[in-house]
Structure formats: structure tokens, C-alpha cells
Chains A and B, each alone.
Chain A
Amino acid sequence: MPSAPAAPPASTAEPGFGRLAADYVSQVLAVAGAEAQKLRHDPMEIGTRAIQPVLWLLLFGQVMARVRGLASGDMNYMDFLAAGILAQSVLFVAIFYGISAIWERDLGVLHRYLVSPAPRSALVIGKGISASLRGLFQAVFVYLLALVIGVHTDFAPLAVLGVLLFIALGSMLFSTLSLIIACIVKTRERFMGIGQVLTMPIFFASNAIYPLAMMPAWLKAVSSVNPLTYEVDGLRALMIQGGTSVYGLPLDLAVLAGVFAVLVMIAARMYPRMAV
């Protein structure tokens, strides 16, 4: 740091659009990169999250597979359920991500982010990508488990890439929602309460563990405005051999990306208020 004599702050000229865009991406990646480094220092943390999908697939799934009528079309129920549980385990990790934001506020780390020149939306997207890193590890667990219990998983490279994309988008979406909730409730205790209340309706009012076709009309209506439904719909088509999408992959992607964009705009406005 020394050696440079009283250097005035670098060029005060307005940087061009290219430079701004490059800075923006770099700032997003800075936030996500820090998260990746943390995961490298504490890989155990990821492992502890692998337990929940195991329970769902092995306990819940094995029994429910015997219920007639649950499987849709020619898909057997374990195949049907695998994609739903993948989405669910990603959701559960993402929806509690806001806790770490509150934690960072309590520590003071948040202030460091907020006094930096990084645009607030870059910080929020960076946090979203951080959450999606964790989501991607969940995918690895669920895939391994799916293999073990004989789910007909599609390993075609394009299909796997598609799954990763849907998981990343889903994680980013629900972790940003979580961040917004954190900005509102502000304490970890309140967050725990809200998080529990929130995950269940998102999970059950979706097509994760039973098909839309089985739902009463009102629940179907609720499910069709639930982003998780579109995530599961996409995952089911991509992850499972012969899987099909009800809405079509382009619509699934568009809904997830659109909702994420709206949430980022809201979160970018609310995030700075957390520091107060």
C-alpha cells in the first residue's frame, strides 16, 4: 500500500458502459467467490444438508410409491418424486439463506458490503449465486441417491446442464425472496418462525410430490402462481428419462427468470436498510 505518494483517487472521468458492465460482473463474482471460499474452508456444512432429501426419498417416497394414482402418466412415482425432492431440498437451503444475511448484519460484515461502491443489485445477485452454489451441491446428493434407489435418471450432458440451470435459477430466486424477508423481520428468531411457515405452503402448494392433475381447482390455481411449480416442471422434464414438462421449458425458464428479476429489484432497495 505505501510507496504511492498521496495519489488522488484514480481517474475521475466517467467510465464507459463496457467498463461499468465489467465492473458489475466482477462485483457480483466477488460476492459469490467469497462464498465459494467459505465452502472450501468448511465442506462439512454442505454434508449436513444432504440428510433431508435422503429422508424424503427413502421414507416418504417408498411408502407413497404404493399409493395408486399418484404417478402421473407412465412415470413411476419414485421417478416423479425425485425431481420434486431435488427442487424441495434446494428450496429448503435457499429459503433459510436470509439468516446468513442477518448474521452478517449482526457481525458487521454487511456494512463492509454496503459502503463499497458495488451497486446494491450486484450485491443481491452475488448473494443469490452464493446460495445457488449450495443448491448445486444438493443436486449432486440427490443424483447420487437417485442412482442408488434406481430412479431413471437422464445423464445426457444437455439434460444435466439444463438441470443445473434450473437449480441455479431456483436457488437464486428463493434465496432472494429469503433476503427480502430477512430485511423485513431483521432478527434471526423471527426469521426462523417465518421461514418454517413459508416453506410448507411453497412446498405443498406445488407439483413437487403430487401431480397438478390430482389437485382440487383452488389448489391448482395457487400452484400455478408458485414459482416452485415451474422449477419442478422443468426439472422433471430434464432429470428423468422420458420426463415431460406440463408448461414447456421456455415458459418454465421465463417465469423463474422474471420472478427472480422482480425480486432482485425489490431486494436491492431493501438490503441497504438492514445496516441501520
Chain B
Amino acid sequence: MAPDDRADTSIAAPGGAGEDEAVGTFDLTKRFGDLVAVDRATLSIARGEIFGLIGPNGAGKSTLIKMLTTLLPPSSGRATVAGYDVLSQPAKVRRHIGYVPQLLSADGSLTGRENLLLSARLYGIPRGERVQRIARALEAMGIADAADHLVQHYSGGMIRRLEIAQSMLHRPTVLFMDEPTVGLDPVARQTVWQHVRQLRKILNTTMIVTTHYMEEVDELCDRIALIARGRIVALGTPSELKARLGAGATLDDVFARLAGTDSEIEQGYRDAQRTRRAAREHG
């Protein structure tokens, strides 16, 4: 896809490169002043994978996603998304990704349909296809009945599903979701995941998800990376990571063990505050 990048296969993590790779990072680093928010992250995520990023608040998950979605330029290191370099080809990266940010990104003062129309036009979906694609997206996400209501009257789960629909309208190669189920009740969470799974099945979209719900990770993700204080401290399938701790271990145990003891989690909290403050001041 990007011949100029193909020559340099060192971008990818050892072993995994080429057309099957959806996301590859090499020593990807982001500093805010003297705070290292993401520290030399090296990853290779295959096409079609559902990849989980877990870790305490402020560990660097959102910063990593912001770099991969071209919202934040890396301080050093490299990253390719859908075969394009995030630094030298940001416009091409954007064309091939979808992003559901942590904040609510659907516009409350528009209807669901209008939000989708806005996305369709921003992504240059041909006029003739817009109406039909929007109708299908609404249907697929189970919000067709509310399509013409203002989004400010939607429930949290409906807004998330609308945002996923918006992010999938142009059929991206990679979909990034930053805590898509935070603040949702269990039923709404279930529904969101049900639809996400369905999408993956039909479109084979690579999905990169951050979440704090370990049971979701366990059930949904093919592989996960555990991030603590900006570093990737563990990488593997959920069962691999659990096996490391011995029989009967849960992902919660893995999280507690690898992301730090209680006092270190406290540290993580302070890091989070620092990250946010630093991010704001340097932004």
C-alpha cells in the first residue's frame, strides 16, 4: 500500500510485518516536558485482531491512541497504521481509521442521522451511497428508531453505538475505541460489545480498545497489552497472561500484579494528574 514504507520492515515488532499488520510501532515515545507519558512502545497488531490496551488511569493508553490516530505527534520512535506512517502520512492514516474517543464525540444538538451525514460528508462518501449506508449503519447499531431524535436525548449506550456507527461509516481498516463502555450500565455495555463483535465478523475490522473492565477484555480481546507508567509491561493473549500467574488467576490478578501494588497504583494516580496537567500545559 505504501511502497516507500515497505522497504523499512524494522518498523514492526520482531517477527510481524508486512501486509497482515494493521498497526506497528517501534520505540514510540511521547514526552510532556520531563514526563514520559509513553515510553518506547513497540507493538505489532495483526489485521482483524481485537487488541486490548489495559492499565491504570494515566498509564499512557490514551496518549498512545492519540499518537496512532494522528491527534498527537510522537516525540520519538515510529508508528504505521494501515500501512501508513503517522508522522509523514497523517492524512492517509486518517482516511483508513475510525476513532471513538473517550469523550462523547457525537454532537448533542444534531440528530443521529445528521451526525452520520456529517461523518459521511467529511469522509467523502459519494452522495449516491450516503443515504443507504447511513440507514444500514443505524440499523446495524440498533438505533434506527431514534435516528431523527436529537442526540442529547439519547442514553449513554445509544450515543456510543451512534459514535461507533459514525466511525465505521467509511469502513476503516482500524477502529480505535478509547473506553467505549465507561459509564454504561451492564446491559448497555453488553449491547455495545454485541454490536462491535458483529462488525468485526462482517467487516474484519482491526479493533484497538482501551477499557478498565477485565471481564470484557477476557471475553473480547484476542490479545492485550498491559501498560503501566508509559511502558508496555505485558503482552499476550488473556490466557497467556493469566497462566503466568499460575492456575486460577484472573486478569484482575494480572492487572494488580503487573500494574503495581496498591502504593504504586497510588503513584499511578499521581502520574495521571501529572500527565493531564502536563498535557494541558504543553498542548
Contacts and interface: CB of A to CB of B under 8 A. Distances in A.
Chain A bound to chain B: yes
A70 interface: no
Interface in A9-48: 9, 12, 23, 26-27, 29-31, 33-34, 37-38, 41-42
A247 to B, nearest CB: 38
Given A107-B105, A108-B105, A113 B122 contact: yes
A249 to B, nearest CB: 34
A5 interface: yes
Given A4-B203, A108-B102, A117-B95, A30 B122 contact: yes
B117 to A, nearest CB: 8
Nearest to A9: B96
Contacts of A113: 122
B103 interface: yes
Contacts of A6: 203-204
B94 interface: yes
Contacts, number: 127
- Among B1, B94, B121, B166, the one with the most A-chain Cβ atoms within 10 Å of its Cβ is B121
Contact of B107 (A8, A29, A109): A109
A117 B140 contact: no
A67 interface: no
Interface in A219-276: 272-276
A111 B72 contact: no
Contact of B110 (A38, A116, A272): A38
Interface in B90-143: 91, 94-99, 101-111, 114, 117-119, 121-124, 133, 136-137, 140
Nearest to B135: A1
Given A107-B104, A107-B108, 16 more contacts: A2-B199, A2-B202, A4-B203, A8-B173, A9-B82, A27-B121, A38-B109, A115-B70, A115-B71, A115-B94, A115-B97, A117-B95, A117-B122, A273-B283, A275-B71, A276-B71
B101 A111 contact: yes
A270 to B, nearest CB: 11
Contacts of B140: 1-2
A275 B282 CA distance: 12
A66 interface: no
Interface of A: 1-9, 12, 23, 26-27, 29-31, 33-34, 37-38, 41-42, 106-109, 111-119, 186, 272-276
Interface of B: 1, 66, 69-72, 82, 91, 94-99, 101-111, 114, 117-119, 121-124, 133, 136-137, 140, 150, 165-166, 168-173, 198-199, 202-204, 279-280, 282-283
Nearest to A26: B121
A274 B169 CA distance: 25
B105 A109 contact: yes
A45 to B, nearest CB: 10
Contacts of B119: 112, 116
